[in-house]
């Protein structure tokens, strides 16, 4: 798939799915503009071999940080081809345990950041006459998973945001889609996930493909969505969960 020679912004790229997406797009000619509020983002360059990297530590939920970052990217590289929104937090509390501050802060991080970055890049994509926005959502938006009062609510909002942006931006040749991962094994949840699914029969009963997902599984779909091969896919949500949401 031809996904080189693009200027690509990826938020939440210090680890987990965001980092996996960035590594999947590590190709000669690409400029990967990576940001995260975690200090690890400043040490990520050694993991990349082919793409040009532009890295900043920032808070994706702070308007000034987002605007400044996008301006820097445009000044340095003259365009923005693709935005991949992936930054977010994953609090696990049931409704009675969820403090209002936790609820609103989760929306600021998970939805506010997607909105701020999308709003900031759209004028540049309009100038370019094309663009791609991919929002990382979650199957939590479709399922009622206990303990995800705040998190699942934000992912439902991201699904709605994706559809609205698609209706608004299609006429400018800016495609907007989302990807909804299922159980993806990352450093943050590795120990918990492996313990939960160590019983093979339990794993089989929950995930028909009988394995947990990996960041590269999401990266492959994102690469497809920003390539010419998906040129007529717009406003879609691609579920990547090994079949979890159908059982």
List, by residue number, the catalytic residues.
Answer: 151
Query: If residue 134 lies in a helix (H) or strand (E), which one and from where to where?
Result: strand 131-136
Please tell me the distance from the alpha carbon of residue 63 to that of residue 241, in angstroms, as a whole number: 32
CB of 20 closer than 8 Å to CB of 48: no
| Coil, strand or helix at 175 | strand
Q: Which residues contact 62 (CB under 8 A, 6 or more apart)?
A: none
Four-point Cα dihedral 238, 144, 141, 179, nearest 10: -30
Please tell me the distance from the alpha carbon of residue 171 to that of residue 191, in angstroms, as a whole number: 45
């Amino acid at each position: 798939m031809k996904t080189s020679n693009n200027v690509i912004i990826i938020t939440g790229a210090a680890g987990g799915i965001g980092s996996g997406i960035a590594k999947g797009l590590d190709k000669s000619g690409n400029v990967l503009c990576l940001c995260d509020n975690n200090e690890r983002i400043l040490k990520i360059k050694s993991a990349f071999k082919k793409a040009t990297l532009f890295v900043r530590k920032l808070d994706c939920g702070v308007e000034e940080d987002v605007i400044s970052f996008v301006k820097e990217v445009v000044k340095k590289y003259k365009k923005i081809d693709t935005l991949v929104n992936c930054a977010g937090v994953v609090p696990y509390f049931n409704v009675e345990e969820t403090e209002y501050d936790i609820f609103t802060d989760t929306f600021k991080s998970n939805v506010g950041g997607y909105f701020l970055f999308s709003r900031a890049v759209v004028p540049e994509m309009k100038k370019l006459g094309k663009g791609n926005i991919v929002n990382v959502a979650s199957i939590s938006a479709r399922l009622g998973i206990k303990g995800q009062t705040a998190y699942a609510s934000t992912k439902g909002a991201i699904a709605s945001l994706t559809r609205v942006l698609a209706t608004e931006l299609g006429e400018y040749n800016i495609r907007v889609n989302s990807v909804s991962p299922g159980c993806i094994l990352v450093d943050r949840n590795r120990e918990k996930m492996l313990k939960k699914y160590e019983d093979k029969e339990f794993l089989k009963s929950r995930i028909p493909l009988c394995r947990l997902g990996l960041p590269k599984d999401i990266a492959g779909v994102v690469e497809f969505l920003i390539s010419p091969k998906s040129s007529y896919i717009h406003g879609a949500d691609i579920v990547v969960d090994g079949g979890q949401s159908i059982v």
